[in-house]
Structure 1
Amino acid sequence: MKYLITFLAIAALGSIAAGFIFESDYSQKFIGFGTMGLFVLVFPLFAYYRWKDKDFRDYMLTKENLDKMRDKEKHKF
Structure 2
Amino acid sequence: PRSRTNLVRAEQGLSFKRKKNSVQKMTVERPRRVLVSVYFLICSGLIENNEKKKKKTKRGRGEQIVKKQKKKIK
TM category (shorter chain) comes to 0.3 to 0.5
What TM-score does the superposition give when structure 2 sets the normalisation length? 0.37
What TM-score does the superposition give when structure 1 sets the normalisation length? 0.37
Normalized per residue, the structure richer in helix is 2
Q: Which has the higher contact order (CA 8 A, sep 6+)?
A: 1
The structure with the largest alpha-carbon Rg is 2
